[in-house]
């Protein structure tokens, strides 16, 4: 069953078409002001220009057609206001029917995309030997939420962590281990047998060695050269280097999977930069054959500009710099790997759309890569999207750091949030009578909900300030408030079942009941808008609006104490529908609801 806005759009579109006008003018949306009706169609004003009629006269004609052709018991009123706004108010019966349909729907009232797509989402971007830090948070949870929403809307979606496991940093690590443990067989050219299955290093070793050798490599040309040679030997397939590299990857991935699990995030692929490496030589040869690879000061580039634009010095330059494919030293570059990764995804998955959830500061890089992919005929530019986002900042307005000025590890952030959530629960007297293990689980879910909702409620393109006390509040627009709302509804339904009260057909009479059904009705529209705009904040806004509408309903319309059985049964159906939809909306944001608090 279509949501009410879609049903009313069908009616208004038919009215415009009957008047010889474009049916697209019949779009109906929820009103954003009280007193303007529940829904509004504003198409009469633009349509009047092409029709050569006064807007209000045209709106009256549309309204008359809608009144005549609307199904019985759908509309209580159709009124024209101002210069031609058409305000529409559904009947109590129509709202009751919509509420019953949502309550019976396994999808909680959500529709499906009209054109399902095959979608790859590139998010998180963890690296070998480097612990995830707070800068990885937004990519991870935005990408995960988009994956969940697009799948629920009916698309086929793959999430790829795009593991950073190739290049110069691997050479640095190989050299570091060779310096510290030179006796290992990985560095013995005469070694013939298999290499050990047990890693010679732990993640702690890698985290200790990498920053030291990275810093030294910036000032020691000899070390840089050794790392370059080790990188080249790795990429050329030297057995010992490859075996050691596999240990680096395995050790890092085990730790990363544990951290992602703490966030409730999973991936379909852990493909790394190394997976694209075998394609690079053939791709470079293909670009050469197509005449796209051009010499530029000893390097090889692909020009991707569309036009020349003025520069600060008064000269002209390309609107987008060329993509560097092969360095003057003959090495493949970061953009080369990204271009080969697109080619790999095209060949293995045949997607219609690729989304890259990466910091907004990488926008220029992705524009270069996307244009190069289009010009090479690998994938159309329209199907490649950079889902950029702002930063999570400290109260000083700068990217969030520790008190010592360092970058906060993601694992430390999760621990901090979990412990603060436990304190907040204790202060609120929540879950005090539950077993210790269950209280720990609840604290973890409350903390993660606070962290995720604080991020996802913002438009992803903006930055926001990290304020844990505000994030963890059980009142206001927060993750813990939404968890508490869902748990409270569960408690109501549990008590109703214990008392032998059953749900029944909704009977809409009170204004708070109307408001709740209208909030429920908006779920499908919110899902489609969030998917189309790649904007989880739309779903977050819906979840908060639904919880707020239920709070107003619960305060105004008693459920369990209601003496009229039919009214009580109808309100139990509204509560059941709200819980199912709220839980679904939170799940689409990657938020788990505890059974009790």
Could you tell me the CATH number of the domain that includes residue 419? 1.10.730.10
Q: Does residue 549 share a domain with residue 421?
A: yes
Residue 288, Cβ density class (10 Å: 0-12 exposed, 13-18 middle, ≥19 buried): middle
Domain membership flag for residue 119: no
Domain membership flag for residue 153: no
Max mean pLDDT range (126-135, 214-223, 428-437): 214-223
Q: Mean per-residue pLDDT for 458-484? A: 94
The CATH number of the domain where 26 resides is what? 3.30.1360.70
pLDDT at 179: 97
Residue 286, Cβ density class (10 Å: 0-12 exposed, 13-18 middle, ≥19 buried): middle
Domain membership flag for residue 284: yes
Q: Does residue 417 share a domain with residue 448?
A: yes
CA distance 391 to 385: 19
Residue 68, Cβ density class (10 Å: 0-12 exposed, 13-18 middle, ≥19 buried): exposed
Provide the pairing of β-strand 85-90 with 353-356: unpaired
Domain membership flag for residue 515: yes
Domain edge (last residue) among 359, 389, 419: 389
Please say if the pLDDT value at position 479 is more than 90: yes
- What pLDDT band is residue 36 in, cutting at 50, 70 and 90? confident
Nearest to 472 by CA among 530, 535, 430: 430
CA distance 270 to 202: 20
Q: Does residue 177 share a domain with residue 53?
A: no
Q: Mean per-residue pLDDT for 432-441? A: 92
Q: Does residue 306 share a domain with residue 251?
A: no
Domain edge (last residue) among 90, 119, 136: 90
Max mean pLDDT range (136-145, 313-322, 408-417): 136-145
- Mapping DSSP to helix (H, G, I), strand (E, B) and coil, where does residue 393 land? strand
497 Cβ contact list (under 8 Å, min separation 6): none
Q: Does residue 512 share a domain with residue 450?
A: yes
φ/ψ region of 125 (left if φ > 0, alpha if ψ in -120 to 50, else beta) reads left
Q: Does residue 307 share a domain with residue 332?
A: yes
pLDDT per residue over 334-368, tens digit each? 899 999 999 999 999 999 999 999 999 999 999 99
For the entire predicted model, the pTM comes to 0.94
- What pLDDT band is residue 403 in, cutting at 50, 70 and 90? low
Please say if the pLDDT value at position 297 is more than 70: yes
φ/ψ region of 501 (left if φ > 0, alpha if ψ in -120 to 50, else beta) reads beta
The DSSP line for 133-170 is BGGGHHHHHHHHHHHHHHHHTT-EEEEE--BB--SHHH
Domain membership flag for residue 159: no
pLDDT at 117: 98
Q: Does residue 311 share a domain with residue 279?
A: yes
The CATH number of the domain where 344 resides is what? 3.40.50.620
Domain membership flag for residue 173: yes
Structure tokens at 318: 């390309």
pLDDT per residue over 109-161, tens digit each? 999 999 999 999 999 999 998 888 888 999 999 999 999 999 999 999 999 99
Q: Does residue 550 share a domain with residue 427?
A: yes
Please say if the pLDDT value at position 59 is more than 70: yes
CA distance 144 to 158: 10
**Parent domain of 384:** 271-389
- What pLDDT band is residue 404 in, cutting at 50, 70 and 90? low
pLDDT per residue over 360-379, tens digit each? 999 999 999 999 999 999 99
pLDDT per residue over 487-538, tens digit each? 999 999 999 999 999 999 999 999 999 999 999 999 999 999 999 999 999 9
Phi, psi of 197 (to 5 degrees): -80, -25
Burial 553-580 (b: 16+ CB within 10 A, else e): bbeebebeebeeeebbbbbbbbbbbbbb
* pLDDT averaged over every residue in the chain: 94
**88 forms bridges with which residues in the sheet?**
39, 78
Q: Does residue 298 share a domain with residue 255?
A: no
- What pLDDT band is residue 188 in, cutting at 50, 70 and 90? very high
Q: Which of 33-42, 453-462, 465-474 is least confident?
A: 33-42
478 Cβ contact list (under 8 Å, min separation 6): 450, 453, 454, 470, 471, 472
Domain count, the chain: 4
CA distance 58 to 85: 10
- Counting residues of the chain whose pLDDT is more than 90, the rounded percentage is 84
CB 447 within 8 A of CB 421: yes
Structure tokens at 395: 């109260």
Nearest to 402 by CA among 415, 389, 390: 415
Domain edge (last residue) among 90, 105, 139: 90
Structure tokens at 6: 């879609």
Q: Does residue 42 share a domain with residue 187?
A: no
CB 129 within 8 A of CB 207: yes
pLDDT at 333: 87
Q: How remote is the C-alpha of 534 from its chain's centroid?
A: 7
Domain membership flag for residue 136: no
Q: Mean per-residue pLDDT for 453-473? A: 94
**508 forms bridges with which residues in the sheet?**
none
Nearest to 334 by CA among 125, 185, 70: 125
- Mapping DSSP to helix (H, G, I), strand (E, B) and coil, where does residue 179 land? helix
- What pLDDT band is residue 408 in, cutting at 50, 70 and 90? confident
Provide the pairing of β-strand 39-41 with 85-90: antiparallel
Structure tokens at 191: 């070694």
Phi, psi of 389 (to 5 degrees): -150, 160
Q: Does residue 416 share a domain with residue 450?
A: yes
Q: Mean per-residue pLDDT for 40-58? A: 94
Q: Does residue 568 share a domain with residue 456?
A: yes
Domain membership flag for residue 597: no
Please say if the pLDDT value at position 75 is more than 90: yes
């Amino acid at each position: 069953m279509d949501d009410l806005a879609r049903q009313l759009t069908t009616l208004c579109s038919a009215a415009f078409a009957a008047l010889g006008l474009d049916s697209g003018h019949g779009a109906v949306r929820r009103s954003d002001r009280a007193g303007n009706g529940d829904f509004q169609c504003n198409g009469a004003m633009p349509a009047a220009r092409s029709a050569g009629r006064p807007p209000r006269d045209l709106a009256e004609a549309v309204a008359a057609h809608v009144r005549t052709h609307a199904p019985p018991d759908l509309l209580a009123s159709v009124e024209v206001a101002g210069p031609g706004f058409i305000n529409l108010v559904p009947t109590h019966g129509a709202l009751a029917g919509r509420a019953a349909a949502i309550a019976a729907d396994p999808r909680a009232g959500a529709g499906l995309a009209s054109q399902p797509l095959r979608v790859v989402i590139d998010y998180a971007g963890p690296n070998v030997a480097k612990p995830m830090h707070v800068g990885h948070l937004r990519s991870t949870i935005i990408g995960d939420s988009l994956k969940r929403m697009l799948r629920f809307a009916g698309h086929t979606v793959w999430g790829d962590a795009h593991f950073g496991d190739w290049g110069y940093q691997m050479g640095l690590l190989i050299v570091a281990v060779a310096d510290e443990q030179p006796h290992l067989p990985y560095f013995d050219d005469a070694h013939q047998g298999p290499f050990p299955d047990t890693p010679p290093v732990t993640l702690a070793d890698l985290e200790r060695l990498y920053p030291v050798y990275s810093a030294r490599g910036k000032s020691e040309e000899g070390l840089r050269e050794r790392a370059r040679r080790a990188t080249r030997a790795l990429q050329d397939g030297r057995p010992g280097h490859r075996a050691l590299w596999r240990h680096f990857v395995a050790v890092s991935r085990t730790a990363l999977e544990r951290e992602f699990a703490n966030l409730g995030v999973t991936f379909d692929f852990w493909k790394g930069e190394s997976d694209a490496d075998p394609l690079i030589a053939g791709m470079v040869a293909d670009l050469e054959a197509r005449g796209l690879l051009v010499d530029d000061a000893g390097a090889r580039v692909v020009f991707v500009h569309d036009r020349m634009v003025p520069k600060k010095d008064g000269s002209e330059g390309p609107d987008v710099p060329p993509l560097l494919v092969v360095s003057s030293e003959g090495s493949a570059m970061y953009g080369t790997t990204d271009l080969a990764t697109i080619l790999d995804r095209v060949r293995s998955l045949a997607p219609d759309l690729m989304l890259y959830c990466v910091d907004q500061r990488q926008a220029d890089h992705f524009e270069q890569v996307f244009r190069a992919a289009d010009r090479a005929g690998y994938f159309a530019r329209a199907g490649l999207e950079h889902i950029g986002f702002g930063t999570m900042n400290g109260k000083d307005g700068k990217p969030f750091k520790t008190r010592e000025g360092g970058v906060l590890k993601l694992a430390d952030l999760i621990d901090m949030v979990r412990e603060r959530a436990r304190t907040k629960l204790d202060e609120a007297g929540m879950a005090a009578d539950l077993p210790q293990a269950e209280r720990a689980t609840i604290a973890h879910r409350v903390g993660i909900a606070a962290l995720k909702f604080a991020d996802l409620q913002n438009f992803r393109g903006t930055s926001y300030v990290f304020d844990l006390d505000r994030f963890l509040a059980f009142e206001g627009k927060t993750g813990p408030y939404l968890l508490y709302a869902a748990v409270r509804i569960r408690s109501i339904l549990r008590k109703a079942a214990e008392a032998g009260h059953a749900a029944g057909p909704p009977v809409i009479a009170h204004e708070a009941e109307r408001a709740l059904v209208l909030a429920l009705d908006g779920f499908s529209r919110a899902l489609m808008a969030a998917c189309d705009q790649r904007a989880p904040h739309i779903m977050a806004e819906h979840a908060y609006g639904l919880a707020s509408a239920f709070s107003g309903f619960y305060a105004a319309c008693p459920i369990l104490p209601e003496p009229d059985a039919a009214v009580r049964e109808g309100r139990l159906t509204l509560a059941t529908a709200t819980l199912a939809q709220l839980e679904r909306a939170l799940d689409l944001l990657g938020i788990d609801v505890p059974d009790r608090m």
